[in-house]
Amino acid sequence: MKLAARVDRVSPSLTLAISAKAKAMKAKGIDVCSFSAGEPDFPTPKHICEAAKTALDEGKTRYGPAVGEPKLRQAIARKLNNDNNLNYTAENIIVTNGGKYSLFNLMQALIESGDEVIIPAPYWLSYPEMVKLAQGTPVIVETSADNDYKITPEQLERAITPQTKLFVFNSPSNPTGTVYTPAEVKALAKVIVEQDILVVSDEIYEKILYDDAKHLSIGSIDAEILSRTITSNGFAKSHSMTGWRVGYAAAPTEILKAMAKIQSHSTSNVCTFAQYGAIAALESSQECVQKMLTAFAQRRSYMHEAINAIPQLSCPKPDGAFYLFADISQTGKKSLDFCNELLETKQVAAIPGVAFGMDNCIRFSYATDMETIKEGIKRLAEFVAR
Ligand code: GLU
């Protein structure tokens, strides 16, 4: 059979593949410590589940508008105004099948053959693949641990060509946990406006911030940058709603209309009663978010220290998200071999940095319980010592 050429241009998602493998091993009774997918281990807060159950009982089981339930779009617009100082109305919002589909849909709406999309590395592994699936060219700009894995305004400016359409910005970042300071965000915004390109700001980890780290939504700086910004977000990480698949994008009207068109021919609306869970997530107390954050903060401190105590491994202390990006250069191993051997010999699952564009590192998600973290680190230390 001859499949479409686009299939050969992309690789399957390693985060999903490795976490599925770890889950399957666990189901077989194998004692796996999984640091693979960024999936909070907490159950979805009860009041959110209750709201979805009530919606089911009330018959919210039918097709809705492809762009999302009006009540949810309004709630999202309110949240973006109040929390992020982003001047959007409900008409600027599209509810999507997870934050992931908001990005995929955007690429389909915006990118075509000949277009370049700038992506700082290390990056979340699906960004370049989404660009390629839209026939565009990902332009990867490497950053380094010395600069906290941040792209500088000079680097961004140098990467821009007449073909550049979009810059992908992700803070707090997956896989490094880096958070850009408000001043750094403003400096990047200046380049974007001066060079007249667009930016998609993936803010899925905005609520997961430690110590004094502050999140500034790039679109909130002024009207000039807002007109060039698409903001992407969702409920998976903040409210432990990974399987619900509810995310959203906020965009200028013209882009929003284009995304709505694509959504009307692809997914249609996101599961109607799930959207009612999302409304409850936004409109109830945010205490549950804070509770999870407190747990993440403890795990981060423990794991950061423990990994740095292992000879040959080192990692910076992240300011946000729930990932540690550890440098394995001193072990002399490539990231894929390291992760495969670690899983086979010690039943510890982590994601090879090569998937994020950095082969000398591996990513650990600490969105898992302390017991797993302690046992996993013990096995990791034994593995490296061997
Ligand atoms: N975004 C999460 C991660 O990086 C979930 C898996 C995925 O969709 O890649 O682990």
Decide if pLDDT at 88 tops 90. Answer: yes
Q: Is residue 255 lining ligand 1, measured as CB closer than 6 Å? A: no
Query: Same domain for 216 and 71?
Result: yes
Residue with the smallest CA separation from ligand 1 atom 2 is 38
Domain assignment present for 19 = yes
Ligand 1 neighbourhood includes 174 CB (under 6 angstroms): yes
pLDDT reading at 344 higher than 90: yes
pLDDT digits 0-9 by tens, 279-315: 999 999 999 999 999 999 999 999 999 999 999 999 9
Is 191 part of any domain? Answer: yes
Residue 52 within any structural domain of the chain:
no
The CA angle 115-120-126, to the nearest 5 degrees, is 70
| 28/83 same-domain check | no
Neighbour tally for 284: CB within 10 Å: 14
Of 11, 13, 14, 15, which is best to mutate to test ligand 1, by the most ligand atoms within 8 angstroms of its C-beta? Answer: 15
CB distance 15 to ligand 1 below 6 Å: yes
Region 355-373: what's the mean pLDDT?
Answer: 97
Q: Report pTM.
A: 0.97
105 CB under 6 A from ligand 1?
A: no
Tell me the per-residue pLDDT of 140-174, one tens digit each, with 9 for 90 and over.
Answer: 999 999 999 999 999 999 999 999 999 999 999 99
Q: Is the CB of 237 under 6 A from ligand 1?
A: no
By most ligand atoms within 8 Å of CB, the mutation choice from 124, 170, 362 for ligand 1 is 124
Count the domains in the chain.
Answer: 2
Residues in a beta bridge with 140: 119
Closest among 33, 2, 29 to 18, alpha carbons compared: 33
Ligand 1 centre distance from Cα of residue 31 (Å): 22
Q: Which of 248, 283, 318 is the last residue of a domain?
A: 283
Which residue in the block uniquely carries the two structure tokens 């292992």? 310
Please list the residues that pair with 326 across neighbouring strands. Answer: 362
Q: Is the C-alpha dihedral spanning 84, 95, 207, 186 positive or negative?
A: negative
Same domain, 116 and 229: yes
User: 20 in ligand 1 pocket by Cβ < 6 Å?
Assistant: no
3 state DSSP class of 161: coil
**Measured between alpha carbons, how far is 342 from 84 in angstroms, rounded to an integer?**
41
pLDDT band for position 386 (cuts 50, 70, 90) = confident
What is the 15 CA–ligand 1 centroid distance (Å)? 6
* Domain hosting residue 66, numbered range: 62-283
Co-location of 29 and 149 in the same domain: no
260 and 372 part of one domain: no
Which ligand 1 atom minimizes the distance to the CA of 125? Answer: 9
Kindly state if the Cβ of 36 falls inside 6 Å of ligand 1.
Answer: no
Give yes or no for residue 13 CB within 6 A of ligand 1.
yes
Domain identity same for 206 and 139: yes
